[in-house]
Amino acid sequence: MSVILIVEDDKDLREMLRTALQRKDHTVVEAENGKEALLYFKPDITDLVITDLIMPDEDGLKVIMKIKELKKDIKIIAISGGGKGGPGSYLTLARALGADEIYYKPFSLNDLTARISELLQVEQ
Amino acid sequence: MKNPEEMKRKISRTDRTQALNKSGMTDTLRVTAGIAHDLNNILATISGYAELMNNDLDPDSPLRENSGKILSGTAKARILTQEILSLGKLSWKRESLSDVPAILGETIDFLMTSIPENISVVTDIPETGLYAKADPVKIFRVFLNLIGNAVDAMETTGGMLKAAVRMTGRNEIKEVAPENKIRKDLIGVTIRDTGKGMDAEMIKKIFDPLYSSGKSGTGLGLTMVKIFLDEIDAEIVVNSVAGQGTEFNIYIPLAD
């Protein structure tokens, strides 16, 4: 069982992710923007962060940078449904900033949960 | 008085729009990008719950077909939202150089979740950059259309999609398109499928506006492909055999 922080401003999507991850026996902490994410992220407790990128109150790129400063080896998955400069520009930046995996929305939930298991196995 | 949930949603959208505004996009694009972004969130929620439902069903449950159709629908809608984001007329400050192999790889990554399992994908894409003087969004859109058509052509039968990029000399284009005046080295891109293919009559019409051989779409896709490629003096050559498949070869001038 691991502790996963979900950072997503869309309430319905956040709930869907929480349901899926709790079914995999993970403990889920939810933040609806970047500011909350930085409050709820605990370096000693949080094992993995899933973060949206375009959000009010601190975007996901800042979240990745700040969380990486707090815990260098934290596993991060970035998710995004849009952005400037065409597809993937934000996600490419997220990857460059240290995200271990990136997904365009809508993504395959089974792919996402499988990747989470892989990343957490490496961690353990 | 509005209910608190509705007000919260409105505030949330305004804040997000402000976040997008920092990027320097035009007003029209900003609004459109915001809508596409929100739609993708909704699609992610729908497809996620459909997958959760699918995981709960017995392997032989007839309901699996229904959840599969929800997933297929959301995958198609995702392509539409991407089309909205990359519409050429909604221009924002564009980069003038395109790393063609990187964009082809990105397009395939983007489409992977909507490619049915009965289609195998083979790529031969160099990791080193090959740059063309072109708008990356338009190059993405060219690949999106061609690969999307290839997948459509194999949807029922399955098959193999091949996408490759290579550097080639001017001699190759002299053979296939002698009227082309390009005097530079070229980036050669191949998109090949083993789908239903086309006869000679269909090939003549595929770049015509409003002609569509697919069961969906307006037919504008390949017309736009041709327009975008003409803008950068690129050439597109089609080889197809009915019942065997189609190959598109694109030749894009290498940037100086």
Q: Which of B20, B49, B106 sits opposite A54 (nearest CB)?
A: B20
Q: How far apart are CA A51 and CA A13, in angstroms?
A: 12
The residues of A whose Cβ lies within 8 A of any Cβ of B are 9-10, 12-13, 16-17, 19-20, 23, 54-57, 59, 79, 81-88, 104-111
Residues A10, B45: C-beta atoms closer than 8 Å: yes
Q: How far apart are CA A15 and CA B241, in angstroms?
A: 49
Q: How far apart are CA B224 and CA B183, in angstroms?
A: 24
A79 in Cβ contact with A107 (< 8 Å): yes
- Asked if the model's pLDDT at residue B24 lies above 80, the reply is no
Residues A13, B20: C-beta atoms closer than 8 Å: no
Instruction: List chain A pLDDT tens, one digit each, 124 residues.
Output: 899 999 999 999 999 999 999 999 999 999 999 999 999 999 999 999 999 998 887 889 899 999 999 999 999 999 998 754 444 667 888 888 899 999 988 999 999 999 999 999 854 4
Residues A84, B20: C-beta atoms closer than 8 Å: yes
A&B contacts, CB < 8 Å: 116
Instruction: Kindly report, residue by residue over B188-235, the tens digit of the pLDDT.
Output: 999 999 999 998 888 888 887 655 555 444 445 788 788 889 888 899
Residues A55, B37: C-beta atoms closer than 8 Å: no
At A19 the three-state DSSP class reads helix
Residue B22 pLDDT class (50, 70, 90 cuts): very low
pTM score, two decimals?
Answer: 0.57
Residue numbers in B near A101 (CB within 8 A): none
Tokens 């079914």: give the residue: A23
Q: How far apart are CA B119 and CA B157, in angstroms?
A: 9
Return residues 161-200 of B near A (CB < 8 Å).
Answer: none
